[in-house]
Every structure is written in C-alpha cells, then in structure tokens.
Amino acid sequence: MPNYVVLDACVIINLIHIDALQMLGSFPDYKFIMPPEAYQEVTRPEQKSVLDKALNENIITQEKITALPELEQYADLRADGRIGKGEAACLALAINRGCYLATDDNQSAVRKYVKPIRESGRLIETPVLIINAIKKGFISVEEADHAKMILEQHNYKMKFESFKDMI
C-alpha cells in the first residue's frame, strides 16, 4: 500500500522550475495527491500546463477535503485569514488522514501546524525529494546541484552547499 503525500503548491512549483514534476511518477512507494485549493494556487499558464500533464498521467491526483473533521480543520485554519486556502487544505488532509505533507512553506502561521508533522517524520520538503531521487539513481549529484542553483534563482534557498553533503 503506498504512502500518501499531500503536495502543496510551493513544492509543485519548485519541481516545475527544475523540470522534475514528472519524476514523482518514479516513486512507486508514494501516491501524490493535491487538493483543488492547492491546484488553484498554480496560476502561471506554463506551470499549469505541466501540472495538468502530471494530473492527466495520474502522477498526481486531486483529492477534495470531504470528511467533517477535514472541513472543520480547514475552516479553523482559514479563520483568521493568515493561512491560504491551498496551505489550509493540504494541512487538513495531511493531519486528518495521517498523510505525508510535501511543503516548503515556512510562514509563522503554518509552522505550528507543520511542527507535529515534521516531528512524526511525515514532512517532505523539496530537497528531500531531490535527495531521494539521487539515492534511487534518477538524477546525479551534479544535476541536483544544478537544480539547486535554478531554485536559488527563484528565491528558494537551501542551507547547504551541495547535495553531495546531504547523501
């Protein structure tokens, strides 16, 4: 049975920047899902078309928040307006279904909800996906370091010099 990973828009966009969204289909132990609210946060047409391709190929599937606890959690997360719709929907799914959460969101309003997910080992950030891709032989350390450089040009900074230090 696969492990479910809820994808937030920030991770999806990061993977699109480095032309690696299709790579998610190479992780058979994981099923990648995203709520429609996160889908709506991908607004650039060229990024939306890459995401639509991944959805059409079932690399990612959309999952709505439907259960009452999920809907209540979503409403609570959105109550003061500090957490966006996509982040709130992803958190509601991950928390209530016990899924992994793939996010790079580090805003203070989100941090307290992500902390227990991180502590349980269910948080996946963009660098973790890249490290897993290196370990599985999908990309080389050099390709990963090039991806790191591209992400830094898009204002996503990692706290290490090279992926070789992380393997």
Q: pLDDT value at position 112?
A: 87
Q: What is the pLDDT of residues 68-123, one digit of tens each?
A: 999 999 999 999 888 999 999 999 999 999 999 999 987 777 888 898 999 999 99
Mean pLDDT of 125-131: 95
Q: Which long-range contacts (CB under 8 A, 24 or more apart) does 128-137 make?
A: 129/11, 129/15, 129/20, 129/23, 129/24, 129/102, 130/20, 130/163, 131/163, 131/166, 131/167, 132/27, 133/20, 133/23, 133/26, 134/163, 134/167, 135/167, 136/26, 136/27
Per CATH, the homologous superfamily of domain 3-126 is: 5'-nuclease (3.40.50.1010)
Residue 2 has pLDDT above 80, yes or no: no
Q: What is the pLDDT of residues 20-63, one digit of tens each?
A: 999 999 898 899 999 999 999 999 999 999 999 999 999 999 99
Q: pLDDT value at position 1?
A: 59
Question: Distance of CA 68 to CAs 1, 57, 58, 64, 76, Å?
Answer: 25, 30, 26, 12, 12
Q: pLDDT value at position 108?
A: 75
Whether this model's pTM surpasses 0.85: yes
* Token pair 């050099």: residue: 142
All structural domains of the chain with their residue ranges: 3-126
